[in-house]
Amino acid sequence: MLKSFATQAYDGAFNLFERPMLVLQKLFGQSRIAWVFLLPNLLIFGLFTFLPIILNFVFATTGGDRILLGDRPFVGTEHFASLLDCESYFDPNSCHRDLFWRAVGNTGWFVLMQVGFMVLFSLITALILNRDIVLRGFFRAVFFYPVLLSPVVVALIWKWILQRNGVLNAGLEGTGFGTVNWLLEADWAFFWVVFVSIWCNMGFYVLILLAGLQSIPSDVYEAAEMDGTPRWRQLLRITLPLLMPTMLVVMVLSVIRAVQAFDEIYVLTGGGPGSATTLLIQYIYDVGFSTRPRLYGLAAAASLLMAGVLFVLTMMQLAATRKQSGDN
């Protein structure tokens, strides 16, 4: 009886929506009915994605500290010229917007260090977790767990550990060593920013690489074992070449994510000491929202320059993927 009631309820719900759908199908035609279902998503996507992009271009070409477009005079490419005004791009002190180029330099070093070490550690971890080890499922969950945490939570945990009276300095004092101002010395602060970023993001890339490793056919390794191929040679001649498409995806995703790093760094160091850990996203935030006068146009121009770099990186990834597919 319960099954009969459920069937009747299902038929009633189906009939309720059938007539409006038939009307829409007659109005728009069968070939256009799909747009009726896509329209709500397209409206939301346009409102919260395309419209902000358009507004960003408008703000980048207008001046002043007013937020209403009618109160902002047109200045053309003045903001871009101001950001790119340098005698030497390798010397931020020679630039009109020296803090912008310090943020660019910090971002470059951060991407180089964070992506390089994270991809290396992720690959090593994935290779270990792909083997038949004790508690393999447990360790996979442990490495992925930091990804589930909020970046703010991660930063607060590590700030509690690294502050002057934190857990790490307490441990050093207990073993007879002196304390270190981990977050107040420029070199140490940058090191810990990179370390914390790797710690909280590595599990995601380990998961991707692990999926890539498991997609490699086992019979390839069996044939190599029958030929007496040593493990290190299997790694170099079988695993890494077959894993290269996945590695390429991991590289591009990690670079884009590193360029956009903000949350955990802002909470952990606030960009300090000085501007030692100020990255590009924080510079955009500070210029546009944190400091006065609020230079919305300058922040918008900086964000568009960053978007251009990310676009180039994405095109490089697509080109490399197509080339690799063509070679295969």
The residue ranking higher by pLDDT, 310 or 186, is 186
Residues 66 and 94 in one domain: no
Residues 129 and 183 in one domain: yes
Tokens 């978007």 sit on residue: 307
Q: What is the pLDDT of residues 273-298, one digit of tens each?
A: 989 999 999 999 999 988 888 899 99
| pLDDT value at 235 more than 80 | yes
**Residue 270 and residue 279: Cα distance in Å, rounded?**
10
Residues 108 and 227 in one domain: yes
- 11 — pLDDT class (breaks 50, 70, 90): low
Reported pTM: 0.85
Tokens 């090593």 sit on residue: 124
Q: What is the pLDDT of residues 185-221, one digit of tens each?
A: 999 999 999 999 999 999 999 999 999 999 988 888 8
Nearest to 119 by CA among 197, 191, 188: 197
Q: Which class for 11: exposed (0-12), middle (13-18), buried (19 or more C-beta within 10 A)?
A: exposed
- How many folded domains does the chain comprise? 2
Residues 285 and 138 in one domain: yes
The percent of the chain in helix, strand and coil, each rounded to the nearest 5, is: 75, 0, 25
**Residue 213 and residue 242: Cα distance in Å, rounded?**
8
pLDDT, position 77: 92
- Does residue 283 form part of some domain? yes
pLDDT, position 15: 67
Residue pair 310/325 in contact (Cβ under 8 Å)? The answer is no
Residue pair 278/103 in contact (Cβ under 8 Å)? The answer is yes
The CATH number given to whatever domain includes residue 197 is 1.10.3720.10
Residues 137 and 269 in one domain: yes
Q: What is the DSSP string of 172-222?
A: HHHTTPPP--TTTSHHHHHHHHHHHHHHHHHHHHHHHHHHHHHTS-HHHHH
Nearest to 122 by CA among 268, 243, 259, 262: 243
| pLDDT value at 10 more than 70 | no
Residues 39 and 180 in one domain: no
- Does residue 83 form part of some domain? no
Give the residue from 42, 71, 100 where a domain finishes.
71
- Does residue 281 form part of some domain? yes
| pLDDT value at 232 more than 90 | no
**Residue 259 and residue 314: Cα distance in Å, rounded?**
13
Give the residue from 71, 100, 132 where a domain finishes.
71
Residues 149 and 2 in one domain: no
Average pLDDT over all residues of the chain: 87
- The range of the structural domain enclosing residue 56 comes to 1-71
pLDDT, position 325: 61
Give the residue from 71, 100, 125 where a domain finishes.
71
Nearest to 98 by CA among 87, 108, 109, 107: 87
- In this prediction, residues 123-139 reach a mean pLDDT of 87
Residues 174 and 267 in one domain: yes
